[in-house]
Chains A and B, each alone.
Chain A
Amino acid sequence: MVQYTKKERSFILKGMTSYQKRVLSFVIFFIAALSLLYPAKKQCIWNGVEKIVSVADIHGDYDKFELILKKTGLIDEELNWSGGKIHLVQTGDIMDRGPDARKVFDLLIRLEEEAEAVGGKVHVLLGNHEEANILGVAFDRVGYVTSGQLVSFLPEKYREKLENQVRENFSNNSNSSFSIDKELKSFWADKIRNDRKTRDEYNKNFKKLYGKWLLSKNVVIKINDIIFVHGGINKSFSSWSLEEINMRTRYEFIQLGMGKRVNLLITYQSNSPLWYRGLINNDEEEYKEEVDKILEDLEANYIVVGHTVRTEGNPAKLSRFNGKVWGMDTGISRYYRGYMSALIIDQGAFKVWEMKDEK
Chain B
Amino acid sequence: MKNNKYYLSMFFFCLSVVVCFGSIENNPGILEDESKLELELYLRTARIVSAIPDEDAGRSEPWRITLSDGKQMLKGWFKHINRVRPHILPDSYKYELAAYELDKLLDFNVVPPIVEREIKGYIGSLQLFVEDCSHLSELKRKKDKILESEKIKADLQEIVVFEILTYCERNIESEKDILIHDTNGKVCRVDFSQAFDTKPHFPPGIEDVKCSAKIQKSLADLSQEKIETALNPFLNEKEISALLARKELLVKKLKQ
Contacts and interface: CB of A to CB of B under 8 A. Distances in A.
Interface string A139-163: 0111100000000000000000000
Minimum-distance CB pairs A-B, first 9: A140-B81, A271-B173, A141-B61, A256-B88, A270-B58, A268-B59, A268-B89, A270-B59, A137-B89
Nearest to A144: B61
Contact of A142 (B53, B56, B173): B53
Interface in B71-108: 80-83, 88-89, 91
Contacts, number: 37
A264 B89 CA distance: 9
Interface in B154-178: 172-173
A63 B59 CA distance: 28
A262 B58 CA distance: 21
A14 interface: no
Determine the interface band of chain A, counting residues with CB < 8 A from chain B: 20 to 34
Given A135-B89, A236-B172, A141 B81 contact: yes
Nearest to A236: B172
Nearest to B56: A277
A218 interface: no
Interface in A233-282: 236, 256, 259-261, 264, 267-271, 275, 277, 281
B13 interface: no
B11 interface: no
B13 to A, nearest CB: 25
Contacts of A140: 81-83, 91
Contacts of A277: 56
B53 A270 contact: no
Contacts of B172: 236, 271
Determine the interface band of chain B, counting residues with CB < 8 A from chain A: 10 to 19
Given A270-B58, A270-B173, A143 B53 contact: yes
B122 A142 contact: yes
A21 to B, nearest CB: 38
A261 B122 CA distance: 28
B88 A259 contact: yes
Interface in A167-184: none
Contacts of B83: 137, 140
A202 B89 CA distance: 19
A214 to B, nearest CB: 17
B1 to A, nearest CB: 38
Interface string B233-253: 000000000000000000000
Interface in A308-327: 308-309
Given A140-B82, A142-B122, A270-B59, 19 more contacts: A137-B83, A137-B89, A140-B81, A140-B83, A141-B53, A141-B61, A142-B80, A143-B53, A259-B88, A260-B88, A264-B89, A267-B89, A268-B59, A268-B89, A271-B172, A271-B173, A275-B59, A277-B56, A281-B56
Nearest to A263: B204
Contacts of A137: 83, 89
A128 B56 CA distance: 12
A260 B86 CA distance: 11
Interface string B15-47: 000000000000000000000000000000000
20 contacts: A135-B89, A140-B82, A140-B83, A140-B91, A141-B53, A141-B81, A142-B122, A236-B172, A261-B88, A267-B89, A268-B59, A268-B91, A269-B173, A270-B58, A271-B172, A271-B173, A275-B59, A277-B56, A308-B56, A309-B55
